[in-house]
């Protein structure tokens, strides 16, 4: 036991948790904490906006699997975290956010830079605390890291009044954590697992549907073994991209609104849908009553509240995906003879799925102008297995999900549930900090990149060599696409022409390498130059303005009814 201040206790606790880097932005109410950071071994990355700090912590967590940490001051600093916290909450990303707060005796007086951030973030955190007694600080931090990273992961927030940071305590960091009211279920019920095995051994047209839970639980390898053992085709959500190698012969790519035709037709035709770490989101299911209409549904998830939330499953299994699948695989292996007999019965299903893939391949027309899809394919050709890909939100994100061949988990950093424009650049910065061995590329749109472009300064100052490739169509492209399809081509407030900055000059202003390309013939060379540049670099790619993300299932539509081309061509 040593007597130290609350601020010192925060930093010591972070070090005890194995934290190496924090993203943050100082201010009045966190001055005591920043004073301790001044002489601490923790790396602090100063972002240029608190939203950048939380997204960077989020991107760091997605790329590494560790808990991301960020710090902001009270009031506006704290409220600037809100979007990022909601983003991490929707995608179940472990983040611990520290906010400064006015002194305890000023709370509730509308003091300068006071905001009730624990109240504001109640519905978007897994849990949060306002620390009123400095002696509770070490155990709260211990609990925060435990809650953020276990069960279904998620963001937690710790609000630190200024006087709590300066008060002293006898410090020791707890070795164990015990929260009687928080006990996630890790092991699946044996009876449910036996039912899963039986169903897998009976189904003639099974399909695996993987979500982000496969990645967060580290179960990719297990999923691959089960899929190969039984010869089951695999589709993933956007959050699940990378959980199964896209080059694998059983891979059907993404399903849902912008999924592949083969994946969506397979969902419609399957007799056993095995949902693993996925949550039947509306962007995946379309019209829920027509989703997987012929299937028995197995739902494996660590969050009991996901079972039956959107869809009633026939065989629910609550538990950690990795532990549950380990049991399932063991159950299959003792039934080797049955597994071998199955192969023949499934032949026609596997052939049918292959036929759909051949009949409806993911294609686009090359033209005189650069097509966004070719940019994405070229990035993969040029950096391939060395890359971690971040995206913004909109067409850029969907083209990436469709055309980038993700092979490994934690190589796509993208805002799924919340769909946060401006996520990509700060998240890429966080990912690059966590994975210095990778080439981190943010595939952006000319709309989203401006939502957090101030973080270019962060990358420059901290020598974080991220690359940004802007698919520039001078439109808020996804909104324009919806207006074309569903609002009679009335392009309301989406044309960015005349207002977009010169991205080459913007890059140079921040001390980045900046390049622009509009000629398809030069694309590969310029892209290679940018991707191989040792420092941060931005490439403005002028693309065909009218290009759409296809195929598309209209919102609330049936997965089997996709739009493949422009008007009439359905």
Partner 1 sequence: MTAKRTISILVTNHPGVLARVAGLFSRRGYNIDSIAVGRTEEPLVSRMTIVLEADKATGEQLIKQLNKLVDTVKVSDVTDDATVERELALIKVAADSSNRSEILQIISIFRAKIVDVSEKAAIIEATGDESKISALIELLRPYGIKELVRTGKIAMVRTGN
Catalytic residue positions, numbered: 50, 112-113, 162, 478
Instruction: Give the shortest CB-152-to-partner 1 separation in angstroms.
Output: 8
Minimum Å gap between C-beta 119 and partner 1 is 7
Q: Please give the backbone phi and psi of residue 318, each rounded to the nearest 5 degrees, phi first.
A: -95, 125
Question: Half-sphere exposure of 215 toward its Cβ, with a 13 Å CA cutoff?
Answer: 32
> In the bound complex, what is the minimum distance in angstroms from residue 493's beta carbon to partner 1?
30
Chosen residue from 30, 37, 130, 167 binding partner 1 by CB under 8 A: 130
Tokens at 93, concatenated = 């990303």
What does the longest C-alpha to C-alpha distance in the chain come to?
74
The interface with partner 1 within residues 172-211 (CB under 8 A) comprises 179-182
Contact stretch for partner 1 (CB under 8 A) within 98-106, 126-134, 371-379, 552-560: 126-134
Structure tokens at 276: 């693993």
Neighbours of 107 (CB within 10 A): 16
61 and 68 in contact (C-beta within 8 Å)?
A: yes
Output b/e per residue, 425-438; b: 16+ Cβ within 10 A: bbbbbbbbbbbeeb
Q: How far apart are CA 409 and CA 406, in angstroms?
A: 8
Q: Cβ 482 to partner 1, closest distance in Å? A: 26
Q: Which stretch binds partner 1 (CB under 8 A): 29-37, 40-48, 91-99, 115-123?
A: 115-123
CB of 22 vs partner 1, minimal distance in Å: 23
Instruction: Return the residue of 18, 41, 123, 436 that touches partner 1, per CB under 8 A.
Output: 123
Of the residues 76, 109, 122, 505, which one makes contact with partner 1 according to CB under 8 A? 122
- Residue 179 vs 366, nearer CB to partner 1: 179
CB of 305 to partner 1, least distance (A): 4
Only one of the segments 120-128, 244-252, 381-389, 538-546 lies at the binding site for partner 1 (rule: CB under 8 A); that segment is 120-128
Distance separating alpha carbons of residues 443 and 467, to the nearest angstrom: 8
Q: How far is the CB of 560 from partner 1 (least distance, A)?
A: 27
Give me the helix-helix angle, 336-359 and 190-202, nearest 10°: 60
Q: Beta 2-5 vs 168-171: how paired, if at all? A: antiparallel
**Cβ of residue 118: shortest distance to partner 1, in angstroms?**
7
Q: Are 405 and 77 in contact (CB under 8 A)?
A: no
Task: Give the 3-state secondary structure of residue 115.
Answer: coil
Among 127, 205, 279, 515, indicate the residue that binds partner 1 (CB under 8 A).
Answer: 127
**CB contact at 8 A, 474 and 502:** no
Count of C-beta atoms within a 10 Å radius of residue 339 = 16
Q: Which is closer to partner 1, CB of 127 or CB of 258?
A: 127
Q: Is 289 in the site for partner 1 (CB under 8 A)?
A: no
Complex with partner 1: residue 54 or 318, whichever CB lies closer: 318
State in angstroms the smallest separation of the CB of 304 from partner 1.
5
- By CB under 8 A, residue 104 contacts partner 1: no
Fill in the DSSP letter of residue 263.
Answer: H
Residues 454-483 that bind partner 1 (CB under 8 A): none
CA angle 93–380–546, rounded 5-degree value = 90
Choose the binding region for partner 1 from 16-24, 117-125, 362-370, 406-414 (rule: CB under 8 A). 117-125
Residue 254's nearest CA partner among 406, 89, 376, 61 is 406
Q: Residues 135-174 vs partner 1: string with x where CB under 8 A?
A: ------------x---------------------------
Contact stretch for partner 1 (CB under 8 A) within 118-126, 204-212, 437-445, 515-523 = 118-126
**d(C-alpha 168, C-alpha 165), whole Å:** 8
Cβ distance 382 to 533 under 8 Å? no
In this complex, which beta carbon is closest to partner 1, that of residue 147 or of residue 160?
147
3-class DSSP state for residue 68? strand
Q: Which stretch binds partner 1 (CB under 8 A): 26-34, 114-122, 194-202, 208-216?
A: 114-122
**By the rule CB under 8 A, 555 interacts with partner 1:** no
Between 305 and 509, CB nearer to partner 1:
305
Q: Which of 537, 458, 552, 500 is nearest to 25 (CA)?
A: 458
Site for partner 1 in 298-317 (CB under 8 A): 303-305, 307-309
Residue number, 125 or 374, with CB nearest to partner 1: 125
Query: Could you tell me the smallest distance in angstroms from the CB atom of residue 141 to partner 1?
Result: 15
Q: Computed from CA positions of residues 212, 217, 221, 226, in that sequence, does the dihedral angle turn out positive or negative? A: negative
DSSP states along 477-528: HHHHHHHHHHSTT--TT-B-TTTS--HHHHHHHTT-EEEEE--HHHHHHHHH
C-beta closer to partner 1: residue 43 or 309: 309
- Alpha-helical runs (H) found in 42-135: 50-64, 76-79, 82-90, 117-120
Residue numbers 364-383 binding partner 1 by CB under 8 A: none
Q: What are phi and psi of 251, to 5 degrees?
A: -80, 130
Kindly determine how many residues on this chain lie close enough to bind partner 1 according to the rule CB under 8 A.
18
The size of the chain, in residues, is 570
Positions in the binding site for partner 1 (CB under 8 A):
118-119, 122-123, 126-127, 130, 147, 179-182, 303-305, 307-309
């Amino acid at each position: 036991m040593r007597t130290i201040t609350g601020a010192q206790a925060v930093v010591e606790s972070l070090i005890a948790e194995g934290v190496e880097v924090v993203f943050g932005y100082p201010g009045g109410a966190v001055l005591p904490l920043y004073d301790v950071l001044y002489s601490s071994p923790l790396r602090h990355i100063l972002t240029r906006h608190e939203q950048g700090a939380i997204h960077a912590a989020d991107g760091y967590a997605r790329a590494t699997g560790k808990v991301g940490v960020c710090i902001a001051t009270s009031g506006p600093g704290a409220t600037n975290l809100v979007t990022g916290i909601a983003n991490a909450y929707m995608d179940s990303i472990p983040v611990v956010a520290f906010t400064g707060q006015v002194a305890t005796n000023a709370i509730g007086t509308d003091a300068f830079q006071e905001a009730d951030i624990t109240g504001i973030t109640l519905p978007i955190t897994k849990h949060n605390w306002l620390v009123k007694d400095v002696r509770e600080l070490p155990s709260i931090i211990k609990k925060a890291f435990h809650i953020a990273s276990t069960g279904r992961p998620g963001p937690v927030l710790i609000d630190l009044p200024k006087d709590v940071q300066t008060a002293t305590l006898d410090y020791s960091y707890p070795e164990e954590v015990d929260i009687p009211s928080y006990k996630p279920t890790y092991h699946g019920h044996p009876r449910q697992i036996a039912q899963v095995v039986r169903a897998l051994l009976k189904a003639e047209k099974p399909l695996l549907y993987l979500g982000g839970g496969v990645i967060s639980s580290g179960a990719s390898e297990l999923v691959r073994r089960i899929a190969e053992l039984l010869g089951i085709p695999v589709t993933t959500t956007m959050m699940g991209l990378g959980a199964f190698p896209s080059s694998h012969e059983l891979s059907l790519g993404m399903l849902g609104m912008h999924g592949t035709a083969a994946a969506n037709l397979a969902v419609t035709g399957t007799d056993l849908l095995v949902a693993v770490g996925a949550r039947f989101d509306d962007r995946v299911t379309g019209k829920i009553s027509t989703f997987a209409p012929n299937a028995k549904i197995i739902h494996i998830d660590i969050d009991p509240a996901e079972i039956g939330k959107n869809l009633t499953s026939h065989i629910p299994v609550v538990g950690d995906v990795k532990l549950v699948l380990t049991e399932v695989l063991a159950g299959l292996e003792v039934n080797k003879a049955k597994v071998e007999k199955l192969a023949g019965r499934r032949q026609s299903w596997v052939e049918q799925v292959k036929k759909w893939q051949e009949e409806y391949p993911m294609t686009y027309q090359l033209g005189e102008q650069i097509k966004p899809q070719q940019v994405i394919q070229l990035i993969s050709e040029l950096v391939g297995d060395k890359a971690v890909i971040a995206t913004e939100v909109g067409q850029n994100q969907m083209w990436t999900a469709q055309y980038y061949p993700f092979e490994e988990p934690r190589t796509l950093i993208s805002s799924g549930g919340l769909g946060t424009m401006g996520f990509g650049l700060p998240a890429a910065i966080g990912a690059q900090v966590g994975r210095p061995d990778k080439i981190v590329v943010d595939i952006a749109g000319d709309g989203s990149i401006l939502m957090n472009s101030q973080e270019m300064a962060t990358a420059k100052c901290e020598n974080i060599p991220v690359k940004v490739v802007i698919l520039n169509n001078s439109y808020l492209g996804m909104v324009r696409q919806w207006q074309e399809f569903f609002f009679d081509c009335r392009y309301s407030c989406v044309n960015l022409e005349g207002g977009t900055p010169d991205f080459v000059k913007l890059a140079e202003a921040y001390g980045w390498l900046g390049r622009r390309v509009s000629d398809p013939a030069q694309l590969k060379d310029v892209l290679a130059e940018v991707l191989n540049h040792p420092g941060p670099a931005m490439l403005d790619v002028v693309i065909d303005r009218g290009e759409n993300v296809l195929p598309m299932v209209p919102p609330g539509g049936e997965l089997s009814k996709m739009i493949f081309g422009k008007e009439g061509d359905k």
